[in-house]
Structure 1
Amino acid sequence: MKHGISQRKLGRMPAHRIALLRNLVSALLHHETIKTTLPKAKEAAKMAEKIITLGKKGTDPAKSKAMAYLMPPHNSPTPSSNASSSSSSSAFDPETFVAPKSLLPKLFNDLSARYVDRPGGYTRILKFGRRQGDNAPHAIVTLVDGPRDVKLEMLARTVGKEGLDLVESSGSVDTLSEGWEGLRPKTKHQVERALKYKSPDQVKEFKAKAKEFADYLQAEEAAYGGLRKPDINPETPKYRRPGLITPKSGKILRAGERLSGVSTHTTGLGLARGALARSPRGRQSVDKTPRFWGQARLPQGVSAEIA
């Protein structure tokens, strides 16, 4: 019978491994978002779940265990008790601002109140490609329902874009103001899960983020002035081609950059699926032309200049 396999060894001796996990968990509870390798992220998230559970208990034994495990946070400027009010509103001054000595107030007050109705699942792991050099898998660990929840920001953008697509295609009511009807079933399910433990004010903030991204998509092309193109004088003869010194205007499209109206075939996800050079049989081939969101919804044969 094998023993001692409750957690990953992470290529370290026990004392080094325990200190590493204590540091990762303390940084996660303080910053609420950290980036590390995937095996470390899984172990740190598991330990952070246990520490937050101790914070929800609020008993003296729970405070003793949390105090014994957590490390003092670093690089966290907060006003000291003897700092003057005038210096507290100014820029960071190492002479008057010191780091907090403990994470216990945040754990037993803020985090416990945030997750009072949530039975578990306080952390989320998002894969973040691979690290340059040793090609180790990277991951982002975040605390859910926090101000730095990455998935919530991405979901708000998805809701804004799908709601805008619904208004433009069918001319129906705005799905952000009338509920979540009209979204894809998968997106609607993710929204219901993400907002299950949210307050009405937080739901309004989520809708505001989605509406802000929808407005950004509509104004993006006009704000950038379209794609990069030379400013040719109408009086210039057509046989004179624009040279290198011809002034240009518009957004420069970088290599690998995806605009709002470009298919996902040109993104990292499409490259991973091998969809860049694939032409699907029996279906219309995907248009990979660089364009903004408004240009992608023009009728066939209509150019952006006419619109």
Structure 2
Amino acid sequence: MRHGKKVNHLGRTASHRKAMLSNMAASLILHKRVSTTVAKAKALRKYVEPLLTKSKSDTTHSRRTCFAYLQNKESVKELFDEVSVKVANRPGGYTRILKTGYRLGDNAEMCVIELVDYNEDMLTSASTATGAAKKTRRRGGKKGSDAASTEATAAPAAETKAVPATDAGTTAPAVEAQAQAATETPDAPAESTDSNDETKDAQ
């Protein structure tokens, strides 16, 4: 049993595994994405992310340390000149693993491991998602949305009530007259006309 064994040996000797991870890390830094199996990608992530963190301090010691792991001058130059600038503001989590299905020959689970800051499609979609309203799956969020909807409905009602008060001199009598006309019975207008005729005859 392998209780507590955190290192995946990947079916290789220590020297073979070290050389393979070094080669894959150099390829990832140069090409920004590598297609491999999920097991190798997870091992590569633990291998390359400390190097990306170390590249944030561009010193001779850091360059020599990274070269000891990568054994590739071009990848070290790319790492300190280009990649370190991109990941300068990111506090870890520099890589992303995207699963792509299963290999036909041995049915191994395949994936693409890539540098997060170099996938422009993902970056644009993330920026638009943060700009839009954030959706949560918690039930507590419904209370806030209900309160906001009630406030939104209450605001137009308050505005409509405030309109007659501003034009009290002109619109208020008309509104009162309409209200009285609605409450009066159909016979009421006839009586008012008769009373008007009587007053005219008296004059």
TM range (shorter): 0.5 to 0.7
Larger radius of gyration: 2
Write 1 or 2 for the structure with the bigger share of helix: 2
- Tell me, yes or no, if structure 1 residue 37 matches structure 2 residue 9: no
Q: Structure 1 regions of 5+ residues with no counterpart? A: 73-100, 160-174, 187-307
SS in structure 2 of the partner of residue 129 of structure 1 = strand
- Tell me, yes or no, if structure 1 residue 112 matches structure 2 residue 84: yes
- Tell me, yes or no, if structure 1 residue 145 matches structure 2 residue 117: yes
- Tell me, yes or no, if structure 1 residue 185 matches structure 2 residue 135: yes
Find the aligned partners of 1:137 and 1:3 in 2 and give their Cα distance: 24
SS in structure 2 of the partner of residue 185 of structure 1 = coil
Q: 1:149 to 1:42 in 2, by over 3 A?
A: farther
Q: 2:74 aligns to what?
A: 102
Q: 1:150 to 1:39 in 2, by over 3 A?
A: farther
Find the aligned partners of 2:52 and 2:25 in 1 and give their Cα distance: 10
- For the 8 Å contact 1:56–1:116, the answer to whether it is kept is yes
Q: State the Cα distance separating 1:3 from its structure 2 match.
A: 9.7
Q: Which residues of 2 match residues 49-128 of structure 1 at below 5 A?
A: 49-72=49-72, 101-128=73-100
Q: State the Cα distance separating 1:4 from its structure 2 match.
A: 9.1
- Alpha-carbon displacement from aligned partner over 1:44-79 (angstroms, at most 9, x marks no partner): 11111011111112222211111111143xxxxxxx
Q: 2:101 aligns to what?
A: 129
State TM-score, norm by structure 2: 0.58
Q: What is the letter of the counterpart of residue 38 of structure 1?
A: V
Q: State the Cα distance separating 1:102 from its structure 2 match.
A: 2.0
Aligned residue pairs: how many? 134
Q: 1:40 to 1:8 in 2, by over 3 A?
A: same
Identity %, equivalent residues: 38
Q: What is the letter of the counterpart of residue 92 of structure 2?
A: G
State TM-score, norm by structure 1: 0.39
SS in structure 2 of the partner of residue 141 of structure 1 = strand
**Greater RCO structure (CA 8 Å; 6+ sep):** 2
Find the aligned partners of 2:52 and 2:9 in 1 and give their Cα distance: 23
Q: Structure 2 regions of 5+ residues with no counterpart? A: 137-203
Find the aligned partners of 2:17 and 2:110 in 1 and give their Cα distance: 19
- Alpha-carbon displacement from aligned partner over 1:88-143 (angstroms, at most 9, x marks no partner): xxxxxxxxxxxxx4222221121111111111110011111111110000011010
- Alpha-carbon displacement from aligned partner over 1:152-174 (angstroms, at most 9, x marks no partner): 47x47xx6xxxxxxxxxxxxxxx
SS in structure 2 of the partner of residue 145 of structure 1 = helix
Q: State the Cα distance separating 1:6 from its structure 2 match.
A: 4.0
